Amino acid sequence: MSVLAIAEHRRGELRDVSLEQLAAGRDLAEATDGELHTAVIGGDVETFGAALNREGVDTVHTVDVGEEFNHDVYTQVVTQLTEQLEPSVLLMPNSVNGLDYAPAVANRLDRPLVTDVVDIDAEDGLTATRELYGSKVETTIDVHAEQAAVTLRPAEWPTIEADGDATIETFDPTIDESAVRSTVKGFEEVGGGDIDITDADVLVSVGRGIEEEENLDIIYDLAEALDATVAGSRPLIDNGWLEKDRQVGQSGKVVTPDVYIAIGISGAVQHVAGMKGSDTIVAINTDPNAPIFDIADYGIQDDLFEVVPALIEQFQ
């Protein structure tokens, strides 16, 4: 079973989901003695191509067609490359960009498309796992087709860190310029703008347990002591206590920091979906039955108004 994974970059940076797809693709390829191909479209293809040369990758395809994402260009390029390689599985990110072109590509190639996949294997034919009802239920889908297209949810697979010895090849697509009906003019930040919690190494995340907006001062003090970034669960964003850009969860952002400190967060499935990929999770909650403790590496069952000041004093 051969696999083709389409990388994603944004504003000059290769996104983590590109390397996560390689981990998923490598598992599929190794299980079936197949090959793993990956492709980067546009941007600094030389730099991105080298970054995608990771252990287990057989070939990296670079496509020099402009700087930023364009639906019409991506649709043509991915379709043409897939037709040339004929991979059994076409992997794409379940992101804003990925979901923009994936349906169009699958339609052109006449392939079934399974979106927002959190697990995939090929032991007995291709099967994909999706989460439903706010991540409360998992369903496994058997794909009865020799060739399929799949979008993978970010932060569900680890990134491959080891360098590889892949062949790097240039792919020259034939772009029908008359079919390119959109142009990227620029970018404008929305919401907080200055904060990107997805880039943080350490996140101090707070939930409704903080009780009052004025109590957030101790959270910011802890974040300062740890050189961390403040984030929060949906209730605080809905109350207007934190900017939308700081929301972690299914309706917010997916984060994978080195350390995630959950303070006064119960651990609803919608929130957990956005942070369960963190390397180390520390939970502070008075409720011993809080679901957050089920995924935490370290748990402190105590009053946050006693624990947080103690931590500030310790780290200062």
C-alpha to C-alpha distance for 123 and 31, rounded to whole angstroms: 7
pLDDT exceeds cutoff 90 at 135 = no
pLDDT in tens, 53-100: 999 999 999 999 988 899 999 999 999 999 999 999 999 999 999 999
Q: Which single residue is written with the structure tokens 């080891």?
A: 162
Where does residue 75 rank: exposed (0-12), middle (13-18), buried (19+ CB within 10 A)? buried
- Closest to 60 (Cα-Cα) out of 73, 51, 70: 51
**236 falls in which pLDDT band (50, 70, 90)?**
very high
- Residue 247 corresponds to which amino acid? Q
Average pLDDT over residues 268-291: 93
pLDDT of 192 strictly over 80: no
Beta-strand (E) ranges in 82-144? Answer: 89-93, 113-121, 127-132, 137-142
The pLDDT-based confidence of 155 (bands split at 50, 70, 90) is confident
Q: For all residues of the chain together, what is the average pLDDT? A: 93
The domain 197-314 having CATH identifier 3.40.50.980: the answer here is no
Quote the pTM value. 0.81
Residues of the chain with CATH 3.40.50.1220: 197-314
pLDDT of residue 251: 83
What percentage of the chain exceeds 90 in pLDDT?
Answer: 82
Over the stretch 239-272, which tens digit does the pLDDT of each residue have? 999 999 999 998 889 899 999 999 999 999 889 9
Place of tokens 């598992």: 27
Helices 216-226 and 304-315, axial angle in degrees (round to 10): 30
Looking at domain 3-179, what is its CATH homologous superfamily? HUPs (3.40.50.620)
d(Cα 5, Cα 26) in Å, to the nearest integer? 10
3 state SS of 125? strand
**pLDDT in the model for residue 60:** 98
Nearest Cα residue to 247 out of 297, 290, 190: 190
Amino acid occupying residue 213: E
Confidence band of 131 (pLDDT split at 50, 70, 90): confident
Q: What is the location of CATH 3.40.50.620 in the chain?
A: 3-179
Q: How confident is the model at residue 194 (pLDDT cuts 50, 70, 90)?
A: low
Residue 191, pLDDT score: 54
**Vertex 29: Cα angle to 99 and 145 (nearest 5):** 60
Q: What is the per-residue pLDDT for 136?
A: 75
Top-confidence residue, 183 or 130? 130
